[in-house]
Amino acid sequence: MSDADVDVAIVGAGLAGLAAARAVVAAGRTAVVLEARDRVGGRTLNEDIGDGKVVEVGGQWVGPTQFRLLELARELGVETFPMHVQGKNIIEWRGALKRYSGTIPRVSPLVLADVQQAMVRLNRMAQRVVLEEPWRTPDARALDSRTFATWLDDRGILTKGGRELLELTVQAIWACEPADVSLLHVLFYVKSAGGLEALTDSEGGAQEARFVGGSQRVSLRMAEELGDRVRLSTPVRRIGWSGGDAVTVGDVRARRAIVALPPTLTSRIDYDPILPGHRDQLVQRMPQGTVWKCMAVYDEPFWRRDGLSGWGMSDVGPVRLTYDNSPPDGSPGVLLGFLEGDHARRAGLMPPAERREAVLDVFGRLFGTPARSPERYIEKSWAEEEWTRGCYGCYMTPGGWTSYGSALRAPTGPIHWAGAETATIWNGYMDGAVRSGERAAADALRALDALPVPVVA
Chain residues in the site for a second copy (CB under 8 A): 141, 144-147, 149-150, 153-154, 176-180, 237, 264, 267-268, 274, 276-278, 280-281, 284-288, 290, 342, 345, 348-349, 381, 383-384, 386, 389-390, 397-399, 402-404
**Distance of closest approach, residue 178 Cβ to a second copy, in angstroms:** 7
Q: What angle do CA 286, 290, 291 make, to 5 degrees?
A: 145
In sequence order, what are the residues at sequence separation of 6 or more whose Cβ sits closer than 8 angstroms to the Cβ of residue 368?
302, 303, 306
Residue of 275, 307, 389 lying closest to 89 (CA atoms): 307
**Distance of closest approach, residue 385 Cβ to a second copy, in angstroms:** 8
**Distance of closest approach, residue 207 Cβ to a second copy, in angstroms:** 25
- CB-wise, 51 or 384, nearer to a second copy? 384
Rounded to whole angstroms, how far apart are CA atoms 8 and 249? 10
- CB-wise, 328 or 399, nearer to a second copy? 399
List, as one string, the DSSP characters of 260-292. Answer: -S-HHHHTTSEEESPPPHHHHHHHHT--B--EE
**Distance of closest approach, residue 95 Cβ to a second copy, in angstroms:** 24
- CB-wise, 264 or 309, nearer to a second copy? 264
Q: Which helix (H) or strand (E) holds 340?
A: strand 333-340
DSSP state for residue 407 in the 8-state scheme: G
For the chain, the distance separating the N- and C-terminal CA atoms, rounded to the nearest angstrom, is: 11
- CB-wise, 180 or 438, nearer to a second copy? 180
- CB-wise, 30 or 281, nearer to a second copy? 281
- DSSP strand pairing (230-231 vs 31-34): parallel
**Distance of closest approach, residue 347 Cβ to a second copy, in angstroms:** 10
In sequence order, what are the residues at sequence separation of 6 or more whose Cβ sits closer than 8 angstroms to the Cβ of residue 448?
7, 8, 29, 255, 256
- CB-wise, 31 or 183, nearer to a second copy? 183
- CB-wise, 152 or 360, nearer to a second copy? 152
Number of residues assigned to the chain: 457
- CB-wise, 66 or 137, nearer to a second copy? 137
Q: Which helix (H) or strand (E) holds 256?
A: strand 252-259
Residue of 36, 21, 56 lying closest to 389 (CA atoms): 36
**Angle at which helices 15-26 and 430-450 cross, to 10°:** 40
**Distance of closest approach, residue 264 Cβ to a second copy, in angstroms:** 5
- CB-wise, 124 or 278, nearer to a second copy? 278
Q: Which helix (H) or strand (E) holds 91?
A: strand 88-93
Q: 70 vs 55, 75, 255, 261, 439, CA distance in Å?
A: 19, 9, 31, 22, 17
**Distance of closest approach, residue 395 Cβ to a second copy, in angstroms:** 11
